[in-house]
Every structure is written in C-alpha cells, then in structure tokens.
Amino acid sequence: MKILVTGGTGFIGAHTVVELQQYGYETIIIDNFSNSSPEVLDSIEKITGKKPDFEKVEMCDTSQLDGFFRRNRDIDGVIHFAAFKAVGESEKFPLKYYHNNVCSLINLLKSMQDYKINNLVFSSSCTVYGQPDILPVDENSPVRPAVSAYGETKQIAEKIITEQVRTTSQRSIILRYFNPIGAHESALIGELPVGVPNNLAPFITQTAIGKRECLNVWGNDYDTPDGTCIRDYIYVGDIAKAHVLALDRLLGRKTETDHEIFNLGTGRGNSVLEVIHSFERVSGQKLNYRFAPRRQGDIVKIWSDCTRANKILGWKAEKNLDEMMLSAWNWEKHLAENIKNT
C-alpha cells in the first residue's frame, strides 16, 4: 500500500518513513524543507535501500496540494507530520503557527475528502493537556487551556479532525507524543533543525561539539526536585514504530471506533538537569550550561500513562534515557565527520 507522509524529511517523519519502508509500505513524501533538507532523502535510501518518492509542496497553498493529489490518486493512507513545533518560537510568532499548522491540516483534510482517502494518522502532542493537575496523564485526562500557541494549534487540530471524522467517511488515529529525542542507530538521520535549535537534545549535542557556546537552561526555580522542568523523553525510533502500528490498525479496520487517541511516552519524567547529566555520562563530555530566566509557554512537569497504547496498539517504548542521548551524540559526531571530510 502507498502511504503519504507529510513533513517526511523532518525529524520524526524521516524515522517513520524508514520504518514504513522496512515494513514493506511504499511511501511518498511531501515537504517544503522549512525545517529539514533534501539530503535526508539520500540518507533514508542508504538505510532502507530505497529512495522514497518525493514532491516539494507548500501545504498552505491549496492549488499546490490539490495538484499533488490529482497526480497521485493511489494513496491508501496519510501520516501528517508537517507543522511548526517549537513552543518558545510559537510564543514569539503565534500567527505564523496558527496559519501554518491549522491551514495545512484543513487543506489536507479537504483534499483527502475530495480524493476519497479515508485513513489518517495525526501527529499530536502532550501539550494538548496543558499543565495537568494529576500525573501521569492518560488519554482521558482533561484537555486544559494551552500554555503556548503551539499547544493550542494541536488542540484546534484535534478538534477539526474529530468533527471531520464525525461527519464524513474518514477515520483517524491521533498519537499524542511526549518529548521525542535521539537518532537512528545508523547515525544517518537525526534531529537537525534549521538555525538555532529550539529543542533540548540538539542544543545539548551542538554545545558539546562546539557549534554553540553555551546551553541555556530555562528556569531553575520550578516546583520540581532540582528546580528544572520535567518531561517524558521518548526515543524517536520508538515513536516511528508506533505510527506503523497505528497505520496497520486503520488499514486493517481493527479500530474500535473511527477516531482513536493514544499517548506515546515512557511513563517516566526526567528533568532538564537529568538529561544533561545523562548526556555527560554517556558521552564523556562536560557540558557548558547556565541557568536563564523561565521561558514563556513552558509547562512545569508532565509525563505519560501509556497503558492504552501498550495494550491496544501492542506498542511499548524500549530505549532508556542514556541510550537515547548516546544515539543523539553519535548523530552529532557523524555530522561533524561529514563536514570534516567535505
């Protein structure tokens, strides 16, 4: 079967394309390279032995997207990653996030309806829970007011998908994942944001390799054991495998309802300082970091209850924090070696 992966050259998208192709799916990617590069396509080919089909498409442009679907009428399912995803940036440029993340989804759902493509796996986020009162959070936890524009775009997107499924023949699985980190075991693909990283792991590795002078830890006076924010960090490859299982569930018509939601996490919370210390432990590098004022939009602490995904999807996170950080460091060293050899 042929699967469209939007944003498929991005961090999680590329890892998912690898898993899909190794599983036997045919893939086609659309992306605009706003936070990725064309070289990712070659890296996917090196890992899987097959280069995915690709078209450069701006999803907020309805004519471009319609033209793509008009040319590709044999798509069986869609995994939608394409979105801006940095909490801090979304607080500085909220309109940019609302326009890109919401408009692209609306255009995609309209095209899927027009071309009778009924299966959607959507990339959502634990940010939809806001700052929870009770931890860990499961899929029935209240959806609190979002504390960032990014989080609110995910809440809006989930609502749009829910209504579309309710009123059409479309079916969906929403995957709410927590904080993806790490890189493929081959060190051929990993997190490589354009410009200054907004996420913790690439900023850590770029600081250690010498690309960045110092890592800012945003706040050390939170109500947590060491004063820094706590997140549920999960290996990107584990997340990618969950997308294949979700897609199988949709295409095999194994869903209990036409609209299902699953958390993806480890069920454990680690503070920013714990992540830093994990990196220092596995890399042997002493990291240059400093405490900085709190960053607007950050949740204090959150981690997951993934019992539902474990039981129903048959999925479970496998790698621990040290393994995740080591894979991220191997990826960073691979990038540095490539630069040295060019």
Strand partners of residue 29: 5, 54
Q: DSSP class of residue 126?
A: G
Distance CA 73, CA 61 (A): 19
CA–CA distances in Å: residue 215 to residues 67, 197, 332: 43, 10, 16
In terms of residues, how long is the chain? 342
Look at residue 300 and give its three-state secondary structure.
Answer: coil
C-alpha torsion angle, residues 140, 146, 150, 152 (rounded to 10)? 80
Look at residue 290 and give its three-state secondary structure.
Answer: strand
Active site residues: 150
- The dihedral built from the CA positions of residue 322, 323, 328 and 331, taken in this order, carries a sign that is positive
Strand partners of residue 177: 125, 264
Burial of residue 286 (CB within 10 Å: 0-12, 13-18, 19+) is exposed
For the CA atoms of the chain, what is the radius of gyration? 19
